A and B are shown apart, each in its own frame.
Chain A
Amino acid sequence: MAHRARAGHVGSSLSCVDILTAAYFGVLSIDPGLPDDPCRDRMILSKGHAAAALYACLAFKGFIPVEHLEWYGRPGKNLPEHPSPNCVPGLEAHSGSLGHGLSLGIGMALAGRIQKCDFRVYVLMSDGECNEGAVWEAAMFAPVHGLDNLLVIIDYNKWQATGRSDEIMALQPLRQKWEAFGWSSREIDGHDMGTLVRTLSNLPDGTGKPLAVIAHTIKGKGVSFMEDDNNWHYRVPNEQEVFLARRELGLE
């Protein structure tokens, strides 16, 4: 997808595709036949630059035809590099500018309470995204209202666009920050499918608090020459690299 679209953010997408896969295929109560069901669970991809991973999940889940993935980034088609509002069925929110997803999710979680609809809200953020002040406004708000139907999962790959995420801002200790803000928290391997499904499914977790999951991940996961190499934040893979990556992933 990235090669065809001449789009970057491959490393960012590979970093969180396991989380999205676990959510879409093992956790979320959603029905591709009823994308507007008011009581469906919501998943917000707040790190919109990983749209390729989200579109792939929506396609294989049955919200859009798998062939449409070829439209990613293609002019005039409905799969932009950052998801636009309602661009595909199953997309819960636009994203692209960081630090918006958590507040959107809180609005949804409160709406569920007001409308007496028992759904859960999941927000996937990046570690670099935690630089945004609006994230912490939202983080301070949710616990006051005991939003235990809300889960934020941080794709903690230790990189942001131009460097290590705990060197550019004082991100550490990340789990304790969320705890200090009044959240329940877990720290897990963000590539372990069993752990992901178990952790995301256990919501509400019984504490009466919103849940923050710090998922340790590897940027570029699954492709040896991309793993933990931040060049792949922006770099577009060439034909040979696509072939090698597909071979490593067992797709060739």
Chain B
Amino acid sequence: MRNAFAQEMTALADQDASIVLLTADIGNRLFNPYKDRYPQRFYNCGVAEAHMITMAAGMALCGLKPVAYTIASFNTARCYEQIKLDVCYANLPVVIVGVGAGLAYAANGATHEACEDIAMLRVLPNMTVVCPADAWEVRCAIRESLKRCAPAYIRLGKKNEPLVHEQEPDFRIGKAAILRRGTDVCLLSTGCMAPVALEAADRLREHDIGSEVTSFHTVKPLDEDYLARAFADYDVVVTIEEHSILGGFGGSVAEWMSSRPGLRARLLTLGTGDSFLYEAGDQEFARMHFGLTPEAIAGRILSLYRELRGGDPR
């Protein structure tokens, strides 16, 4: 994802002289092609995320379109007030890109995990929150976010994530992208959980359960039309995210549901729990710990499905 982001930034900077790329001392060599072409529009802001975000806002006040990139954990929690006031309150076209969100950098410990960033950023007025599912969606997300000329947060994984699209999709911010059709349950994944959701759907198929799988890349604004249809057409709607089940994507769907009584579907929210991970271990380990593997996800869905059907399916 980060390579796709770096390539797309260079392509976009070719087309728009108002784009500026800011980093906080990461991405060694990643942005060399960009820097070679646009040294005047690249700034390493140092290990100073608060300064980076506010400086980006200052640039935006003068008509530039800054993109501020660093590790998700540091680009959100570390500089939250700067995002709230200088980007959102001022309603400026600053795109904040968090790399290694969720559990991607779990090997580095909880300091480098970001399982609360969606929750924090989506409550800010004027903010858009986009969690691309693969490299294709990353390219589209950065391009579309810059077009909107408004605050945006783009939540990335790290590198070499499996692709869920064979080619560039018809991507619109605020419009969920269906990856697979199915009639029994509906799996809504956000961000890098899309390939996992597809694998979980494979497991469910072994039990004769057909799953619709969707990349719900935009957590804010929610695709309400899609949700209305999904909650009418299915018995079970599942949200899957590499983020706390509190306040994130699942939380926002639950909020949406709360003002719409009488929906057919039951909601199952899957994500990280209300706890930190203290042990050493990589992303795979962390996903196992939080039940975010295809097997664990399929198991949770299967038991809910059986409970609702009062036994084995069909």
Contact = CB atoms under 8 A, between A and B. Distances in A.
A139 to B, nearest CB: 9
B82 A108 contact: no
**What class of interface size applies to chain B in its complex with A?**
20 to 34
Given A100-B82, A107-B55, A140 B63 contact: no
Given A100-B82, A137-B46, A111 B54 contact: no
Nearest to A138: B51
A141 interface: yes
A44 B43 CA distance: 22
A137 B51 contact: yes
Nearest to A135: B51
Contacts of A93: 58, 61, 90
Interface in B24-58: 40-41, 43, 45-46, 48, 50-51, 54-58
Contacts of B91: 85
Given A38-B63, A107-B59, A108-B62, A100 B54 contact: yes
Contacts of B46: 137, 140-141
A104 B57 contact: yes
A220 interface: no
Nearest to A110: B59
B63 A115 contact: yes
A61 interface: no
Contact of A94 (B64, B66, B82, B89): B89
B86 interface: yes
B55 A138 contact: yes
A133 B50 CA distance: 9
A202 B194 CA distance: 58
B145 to A, nearest CB: 19
A218 to B, nearest CB: 30
Contacts of A110: 43, 55, 58-59
A251 interface: no
Nearest to A116: B40
Contacts of B56: 107
B61 A134 contact: no
B11 interface: no
A103 B60 CA distance: 12
Interface in B172-213: none
A104 B62 contact: no
Contact of B85 (A100, A141, A145): A100
A114 B85 contact: no
B282 interface: no
Contact of B55 (A97, A104, A140): A104
A203 interface: no
Nearest to B81: A97
B58 to A, nearest CB: 2
A100 B60 CA distance: 14
A42 to B, nearest CB: 8
B20 interface: yes
Contacts of A113: 40
A112 interface: yes
B59 A103 contact: no
A38 B82 CA distance: 24
A242 to B, nearest CB: 32
Contact of A103 (B51, B62, B89): B51
Given A38-B62, A114-B41, A114-B64, A104 B51 contact: no
Given A107-B56, A114-B64, A85 B48 contact: no
Contacts of B59: 107-108, 110-111, 114
A105 B20 CA distance: 16
Contacts of B60: 107
A106 interface: yes
Contacts of A107: 54-62, 66
A155 interface: no
Interface in B51-104: 51, 54-64, 66, 81-82, 85-86, 89-91
A141 B50 CA distance: 12
Contacts of B86: 94, 100, 103-104
Contact of A97 (B57, B63, B85, B90): B85
Interface of B: 20, 40-41, 43, 45-46, 48, 50-51, 54-64, 66, 81-82, 85-86, 89-91
Nearest 4 pairs between A and B by C-beta? A107-B58, A111-B62, A103-B54, A137-B48
18 contacts: A38-B63, A92-B61, A93-B90, A94-B90, A103-B51, A103-B86, A104-B54, A104-B58, A104-B86, A107-B66, A111-B63, A111-B64, A113-B40, A115-B63, A133-B50, A134-B51, A140-B48, A141-B46
